[in-house]
Chain A
Amino acid sequence: MKGVSSLSGARLFTVSLLVTCATLAVAFRLFHIQIYQNKEYSQRANAEHLSEDVIPALRGVIRDRDGYPLAISTPGYDVVLDLNKSNGQTLSAEDLGTLSSVLKIEKTVLEARVKTNRSNVIFLAAAADYGAGQRITAAKLPGVKLVPTIKRDYPEGNIAATLLGFIGRDNVGLTGAEAAFQGEIGGIPGKLYFERDSLGDPIPMGYRKELSPTSGGDLTLTIDRFIQKVAEEELDKSIEKNRADGGTVIVMDPHSGEVLAMASKPSFSLEKLDILDQGNAELYRNRAITDLYEPGSTFKVFTIAAGLNEGLITHSTTYYDGGPINKYGITINTWNGAHYGTQDMTDLLVTSNNIGAVWVADKLGPDKFYNYVMRFGFKQPTNIGLSGEALGQVRTNKDPGWSPIDLAANSYGQGLNATPLQVVTAYSAIANGGVLMRPQIVKKIESDGITRETKPVEVARILDQKIIPELWAMMNESGERGSPPSKVAGFKIAGKTGTADIPSADGYTTGSTIGSFVGFIPYPDPKAVILVKIDNPRAAPWGSVVASPVFSAVSKRLLVHWKVQPTDLNSLAMDMTKRD
């Protein structure tokens, strides 16, 4: 009996041990799941019944220098068709017609979006305005859902499109100032966590936690909306009249380096933007800072300025233009084949004589010449603060592959390239008494009650103040005695025309040029430097014919806008007589 009892005791012990072990295993597993893996399982559980939405941050306003909004954020809606919520109904032709008229999208486009999409949630339109959203809600279209978003509006229309740029559907700036200052004006999106039902909709009294978005700061640009509009209007007129491919107009305050207008064409429509259309990609870049061109004869002013500053020439220094010259096996001629014999430096600029420019560059020598080219800011960024700025190409005598023929060609603006912004900045240094200023596009940024104002930045003194009156007088002669002269009735101007061939892989393209004019108004009290560049004009190839009239037209409207007193009453009287 004792043996039996001892056997059953052992069995009982074994069973107890097994049960204990099993219990411990279960307890251990429970501990592992609930304590050790708590975070992971909590996340899985939350993912099952919690959902999160991004609350878009209100993007800051972009203003012009006087505070007028150029880009502003308003509430809008992305419009989607959610087939899960349509109770089996489909959008009828009438519904699509309603959507088409409210969203201003072709009915066929909407039909295609509905039919070609295989997902249950179909994106119909991005950033519809608030009023459109209200009308869609009132129409009670089956399955059509509005997702709140931020819409970018442009009160001034399409002006400064390439400068302002645009934002993507995620509210992030993609081009222009919108991209360059994303950190300042973008804001920080918020998040909304909520308990959802089986269809993904929030449970009315369920868990809900909101992290509020932070609004972006406001950006005030240096551009003046009126001057920008004038620049664009006159540029458009010239492009149309001269059947050109495009062009650029930049207006700069030479004393502060502030850009008052920056227009480049071709451009795009901010109001009818379709970023999904790849064909538009070419239109998005701001050609004033991204595109390089040979400045041509407008560059001669820098050659003359360097010669004057070095004391090698004065306005009356003469040289002899006896016909085409041969430099290192290359023949250099004047732009029109005319030759002038003995000519002074002023007439060199007036007649835009390549041979004279080569003569001055030879007197300077490569070291001094390229020293001035670099000091004027070529081949380096202007640091304006916009993305995509090109540096320009100048092969100096320190670079491999340089030859003396480069010096000759560079003296009249060929064989090197620069952006329109670099050229206008360098001209501004001359108009500013020889001091180069950093170009500015931002006037101030206001964020969280803090205002950061941009101060003018002096980069370097390039020219001695003493030579400035002489240089300005030569530029005045050049502008007003050119062929044809650049005139603004009632005022004197100073400037230089330029006509440059367009480089290609094997030399220069034939039959296409870039015509330009750069100068300041009024002479001798510069208030603005204006660059006009017309790309591939077909009506006439010359800068004096295609770009100079734009300079005159813009100047005239600006001087009236600024209420500047006319100083040249003779030209004013002549102009009035001509009109009568």
Chain B
Amino acid sequence: MSGQTSAAVAAAAKSVHQDEEELHGLLVPDATDLPLFPLSAVESNFVAYFAPDFTKPSHDHYIYRHPNGLCVVGLAPGHAALRDEGGVKGVDFNVGKSDRSAIKVTGKRKKNAQHFEANTMLCKVSTSVDTYVIRCCVKGSLLEVNEKLVKQPGLLNTAADREGFIAIIMPKPADWLKVKSKFLSREEYSNLRVESL
């Protein structure tokens, strides 16, 4: 009787062990199947567009568009501010009629979001050489600005394409379609800036 019970327990334990082995096999990939360098989250989740010389020469912006329509706007590698001696020293969202970082957008319907034009100012970025106005590039609702830049303007020098993004804008689908063709693809942009970069 007890022999049968312990046999059953052993069988159950064995089956649990087998399940775990099987699960482990599924979870851990073979190293040879993995790419040497994987695509980054930004590369795989967004389509990159570039607006070189936006309103002024060397004012290069990027627009990373997520398939859900949201656009992350930031400074492209060719932007003059990133190329000044000593890099970016300060970021100020207190431009135009309001402080862009003071408006809190809430709710699914994005209450309080301000509707901006493509050439509306987002912030000022200053280096030891000059101060540059950064603009929306796309017409739409401003959902979020990257407040971290106020205390950590250096993020623009180290990761302008990631943690150093400027703002998140939600354009209307129709507005996006109108403006999209004016932007360059990543390849077109690097060809344009090939000498200077």
A and B form one complex = no
Query: B residues within 8 Å of A by Cβ?
Result: none
Query: A residues within 8 Å of B by Cβ?
Result: none
